């Protein structure tokens, strides 16, 4: 099993749309089993995967399992949750650990216990590895994808500590360049704190035997640009966006994120603006490339639906090539 966090410090970059459609490609067409963990308190992925009736049923039931149930036992001193429940997103072909707005309430717990972890306290280390414990119970999947918030907070730190890889969806603007600088500095700081904390543990045999690592950056996906064809018939971003694109690789190298991408193009793929297909897919809880006439697709939209499959398939194949 390989774990990948879809992460960017900047919001509004189409992160959830990318994750859900790439996950569907990998499951439906590339033959891999996928579980998506919605670890964003805004629950956008959960709303994308499931219709309103399912959502209402999920959150009105005391027995429903969400991401909040992964952390709640730690908050009351019961340790890691021993049972994990997932929900099937039929048209996407993936299993989901649904999101929960109450996840935001655990930020303080994770932040406090991170302070303890830095001092070598076992309780703090155990709390910080809560998502590693979750992944232990999801070993039957080929891939686990984390959808996370655009935050440099304690929840995302614990997720990144437990993820093998991370991928960054980016919009082609100056703020995405600054986001890479923030991410690189943040990861560097907390990884040094983590290693210091482990070194301070007096009885090292008590450290949980769970996976943890400094996550490996495997590339970025540019999104939401307007494209036109060049003289060779290839799609190219319009010039204003192209200038930003040229700077992204320089920022990645300058901030030490490129070590894992030797001899690789940092850009995994590109997703141009798909206009009305995105809200259409969201309202029908289906991947963009699976939309059909029953979902309201008409006329020229059919060719755009076909084109979207090629776009997301290209990203999915490249992601699998790098995350293995």
pLDDT in tens, 12-41: 888 999 999 999 999 999 999 999 999 999
The listed range with the strongest mean pLDDT (78-82, 113-117, 172-176, 253-257) is 113-117
Q: Is the pLDDT of residue 230 over 80?
A: no
| Residue 248 pLDDT class (50, 70, 90 cuts) | confident
Q: Is the pLDDT of residue 127 over 80?
A: yes
Q: What's the pLDDT score for residue 13?
A: 83
Average pLDDT score, the chain: 91
- Name the maximum alpha-carbon separation found in the chain: 68
Q: What's the pLDDT score for residue 296?
A: 93
Q: Which domain holds residue 160?
A: 2-322
Which residues on adjacent β-strands are paired with residue 5?
Answer: 146, 166
Q: Is the pLDDT of residue 4 over 90?
A: yes
Q: Is the pLDDT of residue 92 over 70?
A: yes
Give Cβ neighbours of residue 206 (< 8 Å, ≥ 6 apart): 122
The structure tokens listed for 119 are: 């001092």
Report how many domains make up the chain. 1
Q: Is the pLDDT of residue 231 over 80?
A: no
Instruction: Please state the pTM of the whole predicted model.
Output: 0.93
Q: Quick one: which of 130, 27, 153, 37 has its CA closest to 87?
A: 37
Averaged pLDDT, 211-215? 95
- CATH label of the domain that carries residue 284: 3.40.50.300
| Residue 82 pLDDT class (50, 70, 90 cuts) | confident
| Residue 176 pLDDT class (50, 70, 90 cuts) | confident
Give Cβ neighbours of residue 299 (< 8 Å, ≥ 6 apart): none
């Amino acid at each position: 099993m390989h774990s990948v966090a879809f992460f960017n410090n900047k919001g509004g970059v189409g992160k959830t749309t990318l994750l859900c459609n790439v996950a569907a490609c990998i499951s439906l067409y590339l033959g891999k089993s996928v579980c998506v963990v919605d670890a964003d308190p805004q629950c956008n992925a959960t709303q994308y995967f499931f219709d309103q009736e399912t959502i209402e049923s999920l959150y009105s039931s005391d027995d429903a399992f969400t991401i909040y149930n992964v952390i709640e036992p730690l908050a009351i001193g019961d340790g890691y949750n021993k049972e994990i429940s997932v929900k099937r997103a039929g048209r996407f072909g993936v299993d989901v650990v649904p999101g929960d707005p109450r996840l935001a309430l655990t930020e303080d717990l994770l932040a406090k216990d991170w302070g303890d972890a830095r001092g070598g306290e076992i309780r703090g280390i155990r709390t910080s590895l809560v998502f590693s414990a979750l992944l232990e119970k999801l070993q039957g999947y080929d891939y686990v994808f984390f959808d996370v918030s655009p935050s440099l907070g304690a929840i995302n730190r614990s997720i990144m500590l437990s993820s093998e890889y991370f991928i960054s969806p980016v919009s082609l603007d100056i703020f995405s360049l600054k986001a890479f600088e923030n991410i690189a500095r943040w990861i560097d700081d907390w990884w040094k704190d983590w290693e210091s904390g482990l070194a301070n543990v007096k009885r090292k045999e008590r450290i949980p035997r769970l996976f943890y690592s400094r996550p490996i950056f495997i590339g970025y996906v540019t999104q939401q640009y307007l494209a036109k064809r060049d003289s060779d018939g290839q799609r190219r971003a319009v010039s204003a966006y192209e200038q930003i694109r040229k700077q992204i690789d320089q920022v990645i190298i300058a901030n030490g994120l490129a070590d894992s991408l030797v001899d690789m193009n940092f850009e995994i793929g590109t997703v141009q603006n798909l206009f009305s297909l995105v809200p259409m897919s969201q309202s029908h809880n289906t991947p963009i490339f699976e939309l059909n006439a029953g979902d309201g697709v008409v006329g020229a939209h059919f060719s755009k639906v076909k084109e979207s499959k090629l776009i997301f398939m290209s990203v999915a194949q490249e992601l699998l090539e790098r995350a293995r």
